[in-house]
Amino acid sequence: MDGSLPTGSLMGRLQERRADLERQIAAERARQAPDEMLIRRLTRERLLARDRIAALSGCAMPRWARQDLAAE
């Protein structure tokens, strides 16, 4: 066992985390005086989760670049 988590469970947790962050951002924006620094931090975390999801699904690299690597 290499100690890594199954990709499916990690993907699910990342998707849940991203959805939770989106809810937190929406709730903060709905406040009368939203904390812009908090919104920025939450947005960065949401984007990081999105990027990790893309990397796990193999979408982190454009298709044309993956095809070039496969040809080598």
Segment 14-18 long-range contacts (CB within 8 Å, at least 24 positions apart): 14/49, 14/52, 14/53, 14/56, 15/49, 15/53, 17/45, 17/49, 18/46, 18/49, 18/50, 18/53
Contact, 53 vs 14, CB < 8 A? yes
Q: With a cut of 50, say whether residue 44 has pLDDT above it.
A: yes
* Number of residues that this document lists for the chain: 72
pLDDT at 25: 98
pTM confidence score: 0.69
Q: With a cut of 60, say whether residue 46 has pLDDT above it.
A: yes
